[in-house]
Structure 1
Amino acid sequence: MKRHFLKSIAAAAVAMTGFALPTFASAADITGAGATFPYPMYAKWAEVYKKETGVGLNYQSIGSSGGIKQIRAKTVTFGATDAPLKGEELDKDGMVQFPAIIGGTVPVINLEGFKPGELRVTGPVLADMFMGKITKWNDAKLAALNPGKNLPDQSITIVHRADGSGTTFNWTDYLSAVSKEWADKVGKGAAVKWPADSSVGGKGNEGVAANVNRVKGALGYVEYAYVKKNNMNFMQLQNKDGKYVSPDDSTFAAAAAGVDWFSVPGMGVSMVDAKGANSWPVTTASFILMYKSPEDKAASQEAQKFFAWAFKNGKKLALDLDYVPLPDAVTTQIQSKVWSQIK
């Protein structure tokens, strides 16, 4: 069933050149733009919502930085970002921010002879690979983590996002948490200067996935739905409790358990390197940006109706795509504490 959904989304993406629905939106349709991380989920929600209500969602999957630019330019009803804005930015822009869905970012590889999840890596070793300090797949540090595995004498090519990306923010947030050298020399952000000599960029999660599948010996990072959609190989990752885990909705949910969403202005909580034996270390939420005083109040109300429907009716659709829906208690608080600020 999951594979069927993902194939449907992939076909829709090709047919519609990256949009969840055709670009000739009617007056009643909702417009949004931004993160590619949640695009498969928004596409599926939009498909079902359109059938039930007749209202469409025209969502441009252009990356988090693009989504922030579009909402600030007031060309869309909502922006979507995996790199949450800080409280002072939200106050300056007159916007609210809330999480819509939870997922995970995954280290993906193109290495023949290994099954998905067969190879293991720790956070510090992964940071060394992205730093360009580890340049071969048979490096002693990787071999020590994978005893008995015949690792090839093959060069590692780093594949990263070429556009401003919340997935990159999430990924570099994690690398900064597990490697002081990464934190000091590269840091975290939607766009960073990639230090590895052998590297190539790709636009969107789609572009990174395509380049990893194209380049032998590649190592990149994408949201898990793209792993499933593109039948990609991935590495198990050691979490904060020292356990090696694979990415799926259960390990993402474990990382998100107990999050105090309102401990940070704009609900922009970081979940990377979370405690818990079953926690996936690179788990994140994807966020929605909307104006407190929107120019098109009717469109803003339609967007709220869409997300209210998704929060209530879209849970199974989310799980089918290996995303994690927000708990009812959180969505109730979003509607009472956040949406109440939208006039």
Structure 2
Amino acid sequence: MKLSAFAKVAAIGGIAALALTSCAANEAAPADSGDGSTSDSSLSGELIGAGASSQGSAQEAWIAGFQTTHSGVTVNYDPTGSGAGRETFQQGASAFAGSDRAFTVDEIAAGPFEGCATGDIVEFPAYISPIAIIFNVEGVDSLQLDAATVAQIFSGKITKWNDPAIASQNEGVTLPDTNISAVHRSDESGTTGNFTDYLSAAAPDDWTVGSIESWPTEFGGEGAQGTTGVVDAVTNGTGTIGYADASRAGDLGTVKIKVGDEFVGYSPEAAAAIVDASPFEEGRSDHDLAITLDRTSTEAGVYPIVLVSYLIGCEKYADSANAELVKEYFSYIVSEEGQQTAAEAAGSAPISEELRGKVQTAIDAIG
């Protein structure tokens, strides 16, 4: 369904209204270069983006950092969700989108991309976040689990913390005869999608419902709204376990995941390593850098439960002003400075130098 001209204006207005933090960031003064002068550019205009809430904190930090050298640019990002962000971008109501998955090849072929001069898009991984399995069991700070055991816990097949499947992988750990209360996201979620994608790939015999963004009701468990809801439910419960962005794990117990013959805990380095160990999807254009995550990789030091969030723009914009703004903003985001800014603000994993080079080539194609 195409948006009417009035609807497009309303959508843009809604994005601007909801992105109050982003607007505030754009009111910052230009950065002091250290010698009393300021570092600024002649670039100006308004840039509208929308999409994944997973990128919310990172986008706030990116906007603030970008502002230090581009005070004439106003960037508004509405973290309305991946699906809504992709739709807003397709309808031409935003210049770029953030999404916890890439467009499928069929979606790209079907279009339309009304803000683009052609049907070709640029999309690439910009935000990598490890997903931690968090738990609250008295006296236990860390556990080791393989994929099959995790799948059985969250599908309700394993119901006690001292179950032999858990105990056999955690020798020397005193596990209580306590019921397991598995907490999942009650809302449609990219975090759930990536978590279930891991279970589907690594434990297909025990997780048979595939990679899904809405939790299967037949598995029961406790539903909680958003990342904050899951963390709160695990923190305030007894014998609870859940999954959440690793930056929110806090003092909760966390799980090391079996990869090959070792158990690997989450870290920015391990999360970035699984992305580098995974191939690009075939059948896409040169500047469409969608990755097929190898959740079953046995390479040393990789952590397979990660959320990879993309930035999406036009390869050729109908409005040349958007092209200039998007190109500059995307370049800042994937720069070493931009990635470190997000890591400090949101606990994400900076992309590797190897991936950065490929992504920058795609960004340079924007026009």
* Matched letter for residue 236 of structure 1: K
Counterpart pick for 1:206 among 228, 248, 260: 228
Structure 1 unaligned residues grouped into runs of 5+: 1-15
- Cα distance, 1:124 vs. partner? 0.5
Question: Does 1:109 pair with 2:164?
Answer: no
Change (3 A) 1:156 1:183: closer
- Cα distance, 1:231 vs. partner? 4.0
The residue number in structure 1 matching 2:3 is: none
**Paired-residue identity, %:** 24
Which aligned pairs between 1:226-237 and structure 2 lie closer than 5 A? 226-227=248-249, 230-237=250-257
> Whose RCO is larger (CA < 8 A, sep 6+)?
1
Change (3 A) 1:338 1:314: closer
- Cα distance, 1:218 vs. partner? 2.3
The residue number in structure 2 matching 1:52 is: 69
Query: Is the partner of 2:322 in helix, strand or coil?
Result: helix
The residue number in structure 2 matching 1:316 is: 340
Query: Is the partner of 2:86 in helix, strand or coil?
Result: helix
- Matches of 2:165 and 2:210, distance apart in 1: 23
Structure 2 unaligned residues grouped into runs of 5+: 1-16, 28-43, 112-118
**8 Å Cα contact 2:182-2:240 kept in structure 1:** yes
**8 Å Cα contact 1:83-1:169 kept in structure 2:** no
The residue number in structure 2 matching 1:21 is: 22
**8 Å Cα contact 1:208-1:222 kept in structure 2:** yes
Question: Does 1:41 pair with 2:58?
Answer: yes
The residue number in structure 2 matching 1:97 is: 123
The residue number in structure 2 matching 1:11 is: none
TM-score (normalised: structure 1): 0.81
Judging by fraction of residues, say which structure has more helix.
Answer: 1
The residue number in structure 2 matching 1:336 is: 361
Deviation per CA, 1:204-242: give whole Å up to 9, x if none: x33332333233322221122222xx4443211111x12
Counterpart pick for 1:268 among 290, 294, 312: 290
Query: Is the partner of 1:279 in helix, strand or coil?
Result: coil
The residue number in structure 1 matching 2:48 is: 31
User: Which sits farther off after the overlay, 279-288 or 190-199?
Assistant: 190-199
- Matches of 1:19 and 1:217, distance apart in 2: 39
Which aligned pairs between 1:58-207 and structure 2 lie closer than 5 A? 58-93=76-111, 94=119, 95-115=121-141, 118-184=142-208, 186-203=209-226, 205-207=227-229
**8 Å Cα contact 2:280-2:292 kept in structure 1:** no
Query: Is the partner of 2:219 in helix, strand or coil?
Result: coil
Change (3 A) 1:136 1:288: same
Query: Is the partner of 1:62 in helix, strand or coil?
Result: coil
The residue number in structure 1 matching 2:115 is: none
The residue number in structure 2 matching 1:280 is: 303
* Matched letter for residue 304 of structure 1: K
Change (3 A) 1:208 1:86: same
**8 Å Cα contact 1:270-1:284 kept in structure 2:** no
**8 Å Cα contact 1:83-1:165 kept in structure 2:** no
Which protein has the larger Cα radius of gyration, Structure 1 or Structure 2? 2
